[in-house]
A = this chain, B = another copy of it.
Amino acid sequence: MAKKRNIGSIPGTIVYTGNVTGTQVSINYLEYNQNGYRAESALNNGEITIYPPIDEYIQWYDIRGLHDNDLMQKIVSSFKIHPLVIEDAVDIHQRPTYVEYLDGHFISLKSLEFNSEKSTVEKETVSIYFGNKFIITFQENEDDIFKVIRERIINKKGRVVAKGADYLAYIIVDYIVDNYFSVLDAVEEQVEELEESISLQSDDVDKLSIYKLKKNILKIRKSIAPLREAVNLFSRSDSKLIDSKTLTFIKDVYDHTIQIIDNADSLRDILSGLQDLYISEVSLQMNKVMQVLTIITAIFVPLSFLAGLYGMNFVNIPELRAQNGYYILIGIMVLIALSMIYFFKSRKWF
């Protein structure tokens, strides 16, 4: 995990806290309304082109990559953003939050993805800042995670082209929250696999898998839980930057957020049930092992003693001289063995 926090730095300082990868920051610009759109995509050459606001057009600046501090500084001054917005946007450890500033609203949340190869959940910090007729989105790396939304705008699907920046912000949050469901489904599938392998007492139960799944669920919960409060604030906003009709939609996202947390909690509970099951499986298996050990010991140790007894070299052991002594002893031994077996059968040990 990246741990380069900007501890001790001046508040409002723009310090990227993630790992700087080689890739360049890119800026993707889209302006649209019901009538048409214009898209510009540029690698960051140290400059950001600020397109003049056009009447009735929504301007969307999609910043991919957070490690260019100069660029961030320019964004702050161009859009007159409160310095804390950018400080929080470039802090990949930022907790999901919703803050209303004077000229714009800031939303920070986590985009989750399930890495099926490593069986881990990977998170990326996404921030949204929107004001009147413009929106800026920030994400850690160059993946085009909003491709679906952009295409929807370009193809004029849905209501988004007829609505303001607040609705686009809602669409983005909704899209990310919807994604949580597929991440949880993937984790749930793994829980179900684990359940099967434990209940079948199959031997390839990876002892670490319960722990790993727990960590995944914890990670998801930690990423989503604070969003509940954030989306709640968003859905109750009385800012004039947010259309009251949009609020109905945001309340729907709020409902989904709670549902996701419910599902995560439910998975966690199922998992801890599985852990209890696993532990009692281990105990039961130990019991079986002990029973085998005890049965064998209990049958053969007394018999061995008898054999040892008549292997002694005392000059005077009358039984040894009996013609049928050996056969009688064998008979006695069979009796002992049978009664032992009967004893264990009656205790249902096998």
Q: Does A279 sit at the interface, judged by CB under 8 A? A: yes
Residues A306-321 near B (CB distance < 8 A): 307-317, 319-321
CB proximity of A327 to chain B, nearest CB, Å: 8
| Interchain CB contact under 8 A, A311 and B320 | no
**Chain A interface SS verdict (over half):** helix
- What is the total number of copies of this protein in its complex? 5
Q: Which residues in B have their C-beta under 8 angstroms from that of A301?
A: 296-297, 300-301, 304
Q: Does A84 sit at the interface, judged by CB under 8 A? A: yes
Residues A169-206 near B (CB distance < 8 A): 170-171, 174-175, 178-179, 181-182, 185, 188, 199, 203
A291, closest chain B residue (CB): B289
Q: Does A7 sit at the interface, judged by CB under 8 A? A: yes
How many chain A residues sit at the interface, stated as a range, is 35 or more
Q: Does A325 sit at the interface, judged by CB under 8 A? A: yes
| Interchain CB contact under 8 A, B297 and A266 | no
A10, closest chain B residue (CB): B158
| Interchain CB contact under 8 A, A283 and B279 | yes
Q: Which residues in B have their C-beta under 8 angstroms from that of A210?
A: 276-277
| Interchain CB contact under 8 A, A270 and B316 | no
Q: Which residues in B have their C-beta under 8 angstroms from that of A36?
A: none
Rank and list the top 3 A-B pairs by shortest CB-CB distance, nearest first.
A307-B308, A10-B158, A310-B312
